[in-house]
Structure 1
């Protein structure tokens, strides 16, 4: 038998086998999670146990033995509240993010200190969407300027409105999807190296040229000192740690040009930060549900926590979990994402962690575009992850309006979302950023009132 026939026979047999397994999964209630993600007939014959979104959510059994549950009486149902960052404290008059609001209060009153926020997500926050509004509002009220973290490049770096960004030379781009060794890929999921590359950035968020900002190189370990060029002048980089935060300049300029000619230096990006004020870093990675953060080395993360600490981390994922219209059971996702949350909770012990629910997304059903039938199940699961790991939760879906919101936004004139019924556009993302800011201010105002 020649090779063409063997390939043809292999394809036919494999397809028939997958078809038989797919039918068994649907009609015999035989369940195998990886198969459910590639079931050939799921959209033709939806699973009979998948029609009621409550099936999955009601099956969740909460672990109430977590540490935070012993500190105060809890109410898990608070996860349904819109516009609220909850730590599940049954006393809703109590401040849910007390550590952060105390730090914000000190910053507001004394104009000293730095509050750093890392906001993780998928393509919904790509190009600084949502975070650019959140950053602007926080800095306007609490102080500070600067765009925060800037990767050397991404698929959409030219579309970012908060920076003018250009690169040249030959850059090797490694990311969490194509890397062989993923332990030290940084929080963005990217690492960059070059023997002849340059990056030039103008920070458009800097509005006060009388106030100095820090220009920072974020990089990995290099076995020897590396000389780079910063705004045309030589600068020696001593990258002795697994992760290094190196201030290249502190001045009033909103521009930075860096040339690198040594590929032994792993570069993660640069950052513009205020010397005093709020920093919001956008860590977006297209197509992920947070699982790509799992391979990061714990010692590496601990080093980041020491060298470049964050007060708050927000994890906004979910739309990529709902990749099939009739799915309502997502327990497989809990086993994937909960270890990520636990790892970050352990490696960043001084950081408050907020799990944000998925935003609304819609599929085309028989009667038109409708909110995904399993969205309530997924959100309850995400809330359970926050509850069981002792972290906070924010219901983005309920805050933006709940069922059918993304359809209304896409059909609005002018529109607030794209016609894929998944992604808010710049106008819609600005609304989401303002909603999150309002949720932070809600807790801050509670704290302010408690002082009087």
Structure 2
């Protein structure tokens, strides 16, 4: 026989449940608790009392002065700065030491001349496909001269707006940030290489190997910005060639060059000057043992070169995984004057407490100090992580420790003499990512910018960069007068 409950008993049961849940909420105010390695979630005090609401960010007012229209011609590249708005100086901050280093870099940038000034833009998946770097490159090259996308990888695996690259099926990609790795760590500066034969041991009998043919073909992307299409030469960068390697170069399917690579195992360059406008160029290799193809640089005759070096899954802690002597040789040879380091997307989701914040920032500081050791006179800019959202009690909110992480990164960057750009603040700060997603400026992963969003975010960086340029240049001008 089914037992019947009286109304007061049901009320008492509901009241008892509410009391138990209230005690749990009081005992666990954050609303989450690790028990035996499992995370249990409850109603938090903030949610219960409605003390905390998601911040609403007005992007229309935030972007009122952001101009992403392109300027393809500059009458006086090293004169008046064009196409930027005065921005909040706090978005790009630096110490007194950093200010002096920044001013020295701007002097070199302003001087121009026939020598190339190379800017390396390292980053995680936020910059892959050249989405961020391409816009910045166009801005800087139209202002200070230069053409071409700069370095491209030996084997590109991302859809890229600036160039189209295809390789033969036997080209294997080796990276230091996931996937197949080189045994000797000689990655150069791209952190990836291409090979069309395996790595052989020193005891291999060369006569027992067959000649293998492989190729790489590249041409400007149809969505590439104008300056990126204007490169005048393609330079092959290679190392670890220990056997003869024949090289054939085709321009628009016509064989125009036959040569061989130097097989002494050292780092070398092979430059091919284009006979006309950039078209489809093919590099064909034939060898028993592949050299390490470190990448190709597609450059103009002078000005600024801005290289996109995207490493999906990386937190920027890669210098301990590469041959630093080879990297230094290339940095010096290529006249690298500025390192832009844009990471954080692969660190923030795994930061659980303040100890993790300190440790992550400390690891990254070691990377910046390595840059200073390898290229002492170069400037370093850290572009901090963008706002990133995670589900917190059924709402997308900023990762709780992201603001602290940003603050610690800023302080550390200034300590080592670099400059810090606050992308988190530039986006609108806490909970801004939700507004960016709603406007179609970021993807549904609440982490990555869309192409349009990347242009706006990069323009904000460019505004801050050129504001600093104008301020420091003006002070130098007054000293000279």
Structure 1 length as normaliser, TM-score? 0.75
Q: Could you give the per-residue CA deviations for residues 136-172 of structure 1, whole angstroms, max 9, x where no partner exists?
A: 111111112111111132432xx21111222224112
Instruction: Give the greater-gyration-radius structure (CA).
Output: 2
CA-based RMSD of the aligned residues comes to: 3.0
**After superposition, what is the alpha-carbon deviation per residue over 1:28-52, rounded to whole angstroms, capped at 9, x for unaligned?**
xxxxxxxx9xx94356499xxxxxx
- Given candidates 445, 464, 473, the residue that maps to 1:439 is 464
Question: Which of the residues 231, 237, 247 maps onto 1:218?
Answer: 237
Q: What's the counterpart of residue 207 of structure 2?
A: none
Asked if the contact 2:437/2:444 (under 8 Å) is kept, the reply is yes
Matches within 5 A, 1:52-201: 84-89=91-96, 97-107=102-112, 112-156=114-158, 159-176=159-176, 177=178, 178-179=180-181, 181=183, 183-194=185-196, 195-201=212-218
**Over residues 2-60 of structure 1, what are the superposed CA-to-partner deviations in whole Å (9 max), with x where a residue is unaligned?**
xxxxxxxxxxxxxxxxxxxxxxxxx9xxxxxxxx9xx94356499xxxxxxxxxxxxxx
Alignment-derived partner of residue 201 in structure 2: none
Aligned 8 A contact 1:213 1:274 in 2:
yes
Structure 1 residue 113, shift from structure 2 partner: 2.9
Change (3 A) 1:354 1:240: farther
CA contact (8 A) 2:230 2:278 kept: no
Between the aligned partners of 2:228 and 2:157, the Cα distance in structure 1 is 31
Structure 2 gap ranges (5+)? 1-27, 29-33, 44-87, 197-211
Contact (CA 8 Å) 1:212, 1:252: kept in 2 or not? no
Task: Please give the alpha-carbon distance, in whole angstroms, between the structure 2 residues aligned to 1:336 and 1:212.
Answer: 37
Does the Cα contact within 8 Å between 1:212 and 1:251 map onto a contact in 2? no
| Pairwise CA distance, 1:420 | 0.6
| Deviations 1:317-359 (CA, angstroms, capped at 9, x unpaired) | 1111112485454122134322222212101113111122111
- Stretches of structure 1 that go unaligned for 5 or more consecutive residues are 1-26, 28-35, 47-80
Aligned-pair CA distance for 1:438: 1.7
Give the conservation status (yes or no) of the 8 Å contact 1:85–1:96: no
What's the counterpart of residue 376 of structure 1? 403
SS in 2 for 1:416: coil
Q: How many residues align?
A: 375
Q: 1:127 to 1:389 in 2, by over 3 A?
A: same
Structure-1 separation of matches of 2:100 and 2:377 = 17
Deviations 1:250-308 (A, max 9, x none): 54331321111224310022121111111110110111101233222221222112222
Q: Helix, strand or coil for the counterpart of 2:291?
A: coil
Deviating more after overlay: 339-348 vs 422-431: 339-348
| Matches of 1:43 and 1:392, distance apart in 2 | 41
Confirm or deny: 8 A CA contact 1:319 1:422 kept in the other structure: yes
Secondary structure of the corresponding residue to residue 336 of structure 2: coil
Q: Which of residues 305, 313, 332 is equivalent to 1:306?
A: 332
Q: Distance in 2 between matches of 1:388 and 1:213?
A: 40
2:271 is the counterpart of 1:247: yes
Shift of 1:378: 1.1
- SS of match in other structure, 1:429: helix
Structure 2 contact 162–228 (Cα < 8 Å) conserved: no
